[in-house]
Amino acid sequence: MDSAQEDGDCTDIFLVTANVGSLFEDPERLLQLWLHEFLAKISIAQPKFLALHLQEVGGKTYEKSMEYVQEFIKCLCDAPEMAQFTCVHIFMDEDFKSAEHFTALGSLYFVHQDVASLKIWNFLTHSWEESLQDIKDKHIYSGNIETIATKEKSKFPQHFFPECKWSRKGFMRTRWEVNGTVIDLVNIHLFHDASNLAACENFPSVYCKTRRRALVHTIERFHLDEQNGTVPFFVFGDFNFRCDTEGVVKELTENLTPHRVQNVKNENDKIHYRNSTGNNVLTVGKKEFSHADHQLKFKEDWLKKFDRELEPLKDILVEYPIKFVPSYPFEEDPEMPTDYMSTRCPAWCDRILMSPQVHEIIRSDDWTYGMIGEAVCMGDHKVKIL
């Protein structure tokens, strides 16, 4: 998000969301690539307030990968491009041994030395932190951050996702007053599609319904929070929103013939959609979604009409128009930075949304909603900016 004009005072605010799980699973190849691309963008944009929301901090093998998280933070904070951000608040939920609380979310906030007025909210005392000097310093909270009062963090109830043995999905909220404007910044990670076959049975899919339930649960929680009150908010993270897979498959297979291949254990069931000459055009399996023209087909404009998960929530969540290709799932190979993996139907998983009140405050269409690292490997998710 660039150049937000608020009440006559221009404050450059930059919102960024990134699922960084794959970075920490292959840090030698991907970590420095990601940092270089991200810092180059910051150097060009020169924001006054930078909010970076990370999901899957430490990756899926976090027991082995958490050591790289500290290196990541150090490289970021020590980078020359970040030298004028004199106020830093970092919240890294790293306590993977606490299954009850662990979300693997990281919320990082960098405030430029030129910002005149800054406050951060205390969710325990339900008031602003008193000392401006203490706020304008470096605060890095990692490991177990349950008692840190300047953030609110919650893992979604297990019954939201009955198919999952246990989930790291949840949200983390902070509240800021920047040059007189009060706003909540919410980092969120919603549940994924476990099976392409189940996802394309109908729309909304069972996965779409659970994501919607968790998202509505979160928004309602904010609205019902009498102790902290309600303020305009941005919610940005990995929503795991997927395209209407049923509709996509119908569109792609209109003149094709389906052939189901069944495995004895029903683990590797697949459907091959073949043309009149017997060639496979589309293959759909539990974790396979492969088209004969995979790298071009899903970057075309037709796919956008199947991005429908937000439709029922348009009265409570606003989004700038999407003018970029799907952000997931990209190959995790630096040699193939623009190629999609053939595991899922490409989708716009990584989003930056806002409450209608924010949209009324900013009243500007000049901000850029886009992607960082279009031509560079950033892991399986490309980074989103506003």
- The per-residue pLDDT for range 143-172, each reduced to its tens digit, is 899 999 999 999 987 767 656 656 789 999
Domain span including residue 165: 4-242+307-385
Q: Is residue 174 part of a domain?
A: yes
Q: Is residue 221 part of a domain?
A: yes
Contact (Cβ atoms closer than 8 angstroms) between residue 104 and residue 95: no
Q: Is residue 261 part of a domain?
A: no
Q: State the Cα–Cα distance between residues 354 and 234, nearest whole angstrom.
A: 4
Q: Is residue 63 part of a domain?
A: yes
How does DSSP classify residue 348? -
Q: State the Cα–Cα distance between residues 237 and 171, nearest whole angstrom.
A: 9
CA distances from 167 to 3, 163, 170, 191 (A): 37, 10, 9, 8
Contact (Cβ atoms closer than 8 angstroms) between residue 248 and residue 291: no
pTM above 0.85, yes or no: yes
Task: Find residue 233's DSSP bridge partners.
Answer: 184
CATH number at residue 330: 3.60.10.10
The count of domains in the chain is 1
Torsion angle, alpha carbons of 210, 348, 169, 268, to 10: 70
Task: Find residue 120's DSSP bridge partners.
Answer: 176
Please give, one letter per residue, the 3-state secondary structure of 31-95: HHHHHHHHHHHHHHHCCCEEEEEEECCCCCCHHHHHHHHHHHHHHHHHCHHHCCCCEEEEEECCC
Q: Is residue 292 part of a domain?
A: no
Q: Note the pLDDT of residue 8.
A: 34
Q: Is residue 134 part of a domain?
A: yes
Task: Compute the Cα dihedral for 374, 378, 382, 383 and give only its sign.
Answer: negative
CB-based contacts of 274, cutoff 8 Å, min separation 6: 256, 257, 259, 280, 281
Q: State the Cα–Cα distance between residues 98 and 383, nearest whole angstrom.
A: 28
| Ranges of the chain with pLDDT below 50 | 1-10
For residue 85, the tally of other CB atoms under 10 A from its CB is 22
Residue indicated by tokens 């030298």: 83
| Burial of 263 from C-beta contacts in 10 A (0-12 / 13-18 / 19+) | exposed
Which amino acid is it at 363? R
Q: Is residue 288 part of a domain?
A: no
Q: Is residue 278 part of a domain?
A: no
The H or E element containing residue 196 is helix 196-199
Contact (Cβ atoms closer than 8 angstroms) between residue 295 and residue 302: no
